[in-house]
Chain A
């Protein structure tokens, strides 16, 4: 009678034992696959946050008369280690006027003592009654919008030159609407005024203090494109001076300190003072949290594998005790120990393969539920979009579970058989009787 026939007969006719073993296998492979999927996801998220959290170096040229020049921007953006992407921004205290040249009426805020403002003596008279302009290459990415402090209520975001967003309160006070044109003039420079078209109205959701000065009130803020800001501060310089500061995104945030040193060296060599700062706190927080969790998952993986296979080996040892008579009889009939061991291995392997297949959908469900909860509860809130991450048991994870799990099942079977294999047939038979 062939080994295959014996194996199949045992598995099908001793089905309660087979089902118990199958349940154990499913549990083992599910745990393994879930841990592996979690580990793989934390690794993937760890790689994704390098770009998602956009770690950057900010180069400020606020103290430089020419600001950040086009040459400097091109040089910094093309620096090895930079992604090439950048955002430019300029801020300025600005007076707004309508078509008729009359200053727009602003919402009055707290009166500011000129002595409390650095450089106030250089400002034009009446600066206390100005608003603040935020000019940027990408207004939608401005923190006030991305955090939800401000919201676009009508019109659209800025998508070209000489376009502004104003607060709906400012529009209401002055009878302005989307499509109207206003004139902007910086009180911080002697450059001529710039005209810009209103493309959208915004409102704010963040509460403001009663002591907020006029220029800092949300109602008096205006957002514009970078060119408008550049022209207000630096005048018509044919695009030579682009902005007061620029944010340059780096490729590998783990190299940001080295990159900062190199950029600082370039900045120091300039005639105009430049200040370089790094912004990678979100990335560092997220990375540290994910690294911690990844280590926990890795330890859990090792523990799960160890415990699962110790339990499996114990289960098989226990089962072998119940099959001692069978082992003794087969040995008495001249079967070799190797042949008996091969039958046990074949039985366990067959059940392990079925358990492995069944565990895929189960572990996918568990990984998606438990895994995501673990990720979102352990990772910091700054990890944008982490709540949307789905922990998936991929084919590679599944393959890895098979590559490690199935040989361990065979090893557990052999380990469970060792005490019996070491006995002489007579001892097995006398133990039986």
Chain B
């Protein structure tokens, strides 16, 4: 479980994008963070992933402050990223990209996301966008991390492929018991999420998939 507590974040110029945000993310659920551009969605994801530090507030992973345990350690053991632009290492094959984080056989994970053995050994840049995103998902799945952070994972994909990727992410949460947190503009993806977090003007509004608003305001939690 990962939790943000009263997190404040401001850019160097002083403009605060997150003003005392609190939220809790649990395993086995898929979360969608929605909001207008510049509202701090990606910043919140970066803070959850230990890519940056908040000005104030805490981020707790299984009860431990990730600043205390170390951000690199948090990134290495607790979280896995899926990016909009896939961000695969272009001189490694899909199998090798997955092997960067894999604790087991990368081919099994690639097969799970629908990539064949031949595709697993090709140059990643020769794969389609959908296939590259599958490799990125496989890379996240292969790691021992329980939290998967995805930034616009379907942003560069057509509707059919996006549907497949959403299904794969949903499986991660429901079948593998991982906590999947997705930043998106996509209503299609938001509809698939178990929980939707709307971020606006540095505040959160959290909605269960049932449509019932649980909390609103900067102190909101789930």
Interface residue ranges, A against B (CB under 8 Å): 1, 5-6, 9-10, 13-14, 325-326, 328-336, 424-427, 429-430, 432-433
Contacts and interface: CB of A to CB of B under 8 A. Distances in A.
B91 A331 contact: no
A334 B76 contact: yes
Interface string B75-111: 1110011011101111110001001110000000000
Interface stretch (B20-28, B31-39, B46-54, B177-185): B46-54
A333 B51 contact: no
Residue in B91, B92, B101 with the greatest tally of chain A CB atoms within 10 Å: B91
A325 B76 contact: no
Contact of A1 (B52, B75, B87, B96): B96
| Main SS at interface, chain A | helix
Nearest to A10: B91
Contact of A334 (B52, B75, B83): B75
Interface residues of B, number: 30
A330 B143 CA distance: 13
Given A9-B92, A13-B91, A433-B85, A334 B73 contact: yes
Contacts of A429: 46, 51, 83
A426 B46 contact: yes
A329 B135 CA distance: 14
Contacts of B73: 334
A332 B52 contact: no
Residue in A6, A328, A335, A426 with the greatest tally of chain B CB atoms within 10 Å: A426
Contact of A424 (B51, B80, B81): B51
B167 interface: no
Given A332-B51, A333-B101, A334-B77, A14 B96 contact: no
Closest 8 CB pairs of A and B: A334-B76, A426-B52, A426-B51, A334-B75, A425-B51, A13-B91, A1-B99, A426-B46
7 contacts: A1-B92, A328-B87, A329-B89, A330-B89, A331-B75, A425-B75, A430-B42
B83 to A, nearest CB: 8
A116 B15 CA distance: 107
A375 B96 CA distance: 55
B72 interface: yes
Contacts of B81: 329, 332-333
Contact of B92 (A6, A333, A432): A6
B47 to A, nearest CB: 9
Interface string B120-141: 0001000000000000000100
B157 to A, nearest CB: 17
B72 A336 contact: yes
Given A334-B73, A429-B46, A326 B89 contact: yes
Nearest to B100: A1
Contacts of A326: 89-90
Contacts of A433: 84-85
A341 to B, nearest CB: 13
A13 B96 CA distance: 13
Contact of A425 (B52, B87, B101): B52
A429 B47 CA distance: 13
Contact of B52 (A6, A14, A424, A432): A424
Residue in B52, B77, B87, B99 with the greatest tally of chain A CB atoms within 10 Å: B87
B140 to A, nearest CB: 9
Contacts of A427: 52
Nearest to A17: B91
B87 A329 contact: yes
A25 B139 CA distance: 36
Contacts of A425: 51-52, 71, 75
A163 to B, nearest CB: 83
A377 to B, nearest CB: 49
Nearest to A336: B72
Contacts of B100: 1, 330, 333
Nearest to A339: B72
A175 to B, nearest CB: 94
A329 B81 CA distance: 9
B91 A325 contact: no
Contacts of B88: 329
B81 to A, nearest CB: 5
Given A10-B91, A433-B85, A332 B49 contact: yes
Contacts of B77: 334
Nearest to B89: A326
Contacts of B49: 332
Nearest to A13: B91
Contacts of B83: 329, 429
A429 B42 CA distance: 11
A433 B51 CA distance: 15
A339 to B, nearest CB: 10
Residue in A1, A333, A424 with the greatest tally of chain B CB atoms within 10 Å: A333
